[in-house]
Chains A and B, each alone.
Chain A
Amino acid sequence: MKRGDARLLVNGTLGVLTAVTLFPLAWMAAVSLMSPGEASTYPPPLVPGRATLDNYRELFARAGMGRYLANSVMLACSVTAVSLLFNVAAGYAFAKLRFRGRTGLFNLMLGALVIPSQVAMVPLFLLLKQLGLVNSYGGVIVPAMASIFGIFLVRQYALSIPDDLLDAARIDGASEPRIFGLIVVPVLKPIIVTLAVFTFLGTWNDFMWPLIVLSDNDLYTLPVALASLSREHVADNELMMAGAVVTTLPVLVIFIALQRYYVAGLMAGSVKT
C-alpha cells in the first residue's frame, strides 16, 4: 500500500467513525427543532422542514423544565463547592501534613475504592430518612460532600509541593490555614479545576441516587425528570429530543471549554499507583 493510500485509509476511517459517533447528538439537535409529529415519519427526516422552538417552549411552559434545570444547576454547584473544600483540604493533609494513622487511613480508603456505591444505597436511604433528608436537596448533597476519589486525586498532585516552601512559611510564623489558603490552594489550582469539572459533571449526570432519594416532582434533577417524562411521552420524539438537548448541552459546553483539565483528571484517576 502506498503512503498516500494509507493516509486516506486512516483519515477516512477516523472521519467515518467520528461522523457515526456524533450523528446521534446532531440528530437530537435537529429533531428537537421539528414540529410535533414530523419525526414520526418514514424515511426519518434529517433536518426540520421549518425549524421551530415550540418544543422548548412547551418544555419550559408546561413540563416544568425550568424548575428541573434550576434544581440540576443548584445541586451540581452545591456539591461541587462543598466537596471541593473538603476534598482539597483532606488531600493536601494526606500528602503534606503529618498526623497519627495517616498511612493506615489512606490505605483503608484506597481499599474502600473497590466497593461500588450501590452497596451503600439501601442503608444510606434509611439513614437519610432518619435525618429527615429523604426527598430534599440535602439527600443529594450531604452524602456527596466528600469522595475518596477526590481526596486521592488531590493527594497525588499535592505530593509534588516542596516541603521547603511550606516550612519557610511556617518559620515566618504563618498559621496552617493561612499557608493552605495563600500557598497551597494557588499551587493546586490545576487539580482543583480538574476535580471541579469532574464533580460537576458527575453530579449533573448522576441518575440512580437522585431517582431513589428525590420522590417529589418539584425536586427532580434533569435526568430524573427526563426519564419520567420519556415514560409518559413515548411517542413525542421532538419534545423528548428537546429535553435531551436541555439536559446534555450544559455538560457538553463545560467539557469543551475545560477538556484539558478533564482529560488530566481522567489520566490521574485511572493510573492508580
Chain B
Amino acid sequence: MSRASPAAWWFVAPALVVIAVFFVLPVLAGLALSFTDFDLYALADVGNLRLVGLRNYLRLLQDPLFWQALGNTFYFVVVGVPLSIGASLGAALLLHSPLARFKGFFRTALFTPVVTTLVAVAVIWRYLLSTRYGMLNYVLAAVGIPPVDWLGDPHWAMPAIILFAVWKSFGYNMVILLAGLTSIPQDLYEAARVDGASAASRFRHVTLPMLGPILAMVAILTIAGYFQLFAEPYVMTQGGPLQSTVSVLYFMYEEGFKWWNLGSASAVAFLLFLLIFAVTAVQARLARRSVAA
C-alpha cells in the first residue's frame, strides 16, 4: 500500500453515494424541516411551506401527549434495560458455569427470540397475554392470582410490553456477555479461591470488574435500542390504553405519517436523537470514570 490507488474510488463510490444521498442528506434535511411548518398543504404544493423557527419544538414541549410519550419511553428504558441486561447476565453466567451441560443447545435456544420477526412474536404475545384465554393468566390463576387485563389496563400495558421486550432481546446481550466471561483469565479465579473468597465475592471482585467495559458497552447499545420503541405498541396496544404505551417514535409516526405534520415529526425525531445522544454520552463518561478509578 505505497501509492494512492486510482481504482479505489470505484470501490467506495457506490456505497458512499448511497449513504450520502439516502442517509446523510435526509438527516440534514430533517434538521432543516424541523424549523418549517411542512404539512399536508406543503406536501401538495411546496409553495405553502413557511419557516417557523423553533415553533415546532416549543409546541411539542407544551403538548401533554408528547410529554406522556417521553414519560412512557423513559419508563420502558429505565425498567426494561436493567431487567434485560440482568436476564442476559444471569443466563450468560449459567451457560458459563463448568457444570452446565448441552451448552450449544441452550445457547441457541435462548438466543432464538432475537432472530424472530418482531411483529410475528408480538402477535403471539398479544394472544399469550389475552385476559380470558391467555396462557399467562391461566398460569397465574393456578397460583391463585386473579386475571389481569394485561394490554387493556393502563397500569399493566407497559409492564406487559417490557416483559415481551425482555423475552425478545435478552439473548443478544447474553451471547456478548458470555464471550466476555470466557475471556476472563482463569488464574484470577484461582487466586481469589486461594485467598478464600466465596463464590459471591469472586463474582463481585473478579467477574464484575473484568466484565465492566463490556457491560458498559452493552448498556449503552441497549439503552439506545430501547429508546427506539415502536413496533411493540403498534402491534400490541396501538398506543393505548389511555395512551399509556405511546412511545416517542410512535408519536413521531402518527404525527408524520397519520396527520402529515412532517415538520413537527422531524422535530420529534431530532429531540429523540438528542435525548439518546445525551443519555449515552453521560453513560459513556461515567463508564470511563469508573474504569479509570
Residues on A facing B (Cβ under 8 Å): 3, 6-7, 10-11, 13-14, 17-18, 21-25, 27-28, 31, 39-44, 85-87, 89-90, 92-94, 96-100, 102, 105, 109, 112, 114-127, 142-143, 145-148, 151, 163, 175-177, 180, 201, 204-205, 207-208, 211-212, 222-224, 226-227, 230-231, 237, 240-241, 243-245, 247-248, 251-252, 255-256, 259, 262-263, 266-267, 270-272
Residues of B within 8 A of A87 (CB): 15
Q: Which residues of chain A come closer than 8 Å to B132, judged between CB atoms?
A: 40, 42
* Residue from the list A86, A120, A175, A231 in contact with B23, Cβ < 8 A: A120
The interface residues of chain B, by DSSP majority, are classed as helix
Task: Select B117's contact among A125, A208, A222, A230, beta carbons within 8 Å.
Answer: A222
Q: Are B11 and A89 touching (Cβ within 8 A)?
A: yes
In the bound assembly, the distance between CA atoms of A122 and B31 in angstroms comes to 10
Q: Which residues does chain B contribute within 8 Å of A127, judged by CB atoms?
A: 21-22, 25-26, 29
Q: Residue B265 at the A interface, CB < 8 A?
A: yes
| Residues in A whose Cβ lies below 8 Å from that of B138 | 42-44
Q: A271–B257 Cα gap in the complex (Å)?
A: 36
- Least CB distance, B10 to chain A, in whole angstroms: 8
| A237-B110 in contact (CB<8A) | no
Which chain B residues have a beta carbon within 8 Å of chain A's beta carbons? 1-5, 7-12, 14-16, 18-19, 21-27, 29-30, 33, 91, 94-95, 97, 99-102, 106, 108-113, 115-121, 123-128, 130, 132-135, 138, 167, 171-172, 175-176, 179, 217-218, 221, 224, 227-228, 230-231, 234-235, 238, 249, 252-253, 256-257, 262, 265-266, 269-270, 272-273, 276-277, 280
How far apart are A109's CB and chain B's nearest CB, in angstroms?
7
- The residue that A226 contacts in the complex, of B119, B249, B269, with Cβ under 8 A, is B119
| A46 nearest CB neighbor, chain B only | B135
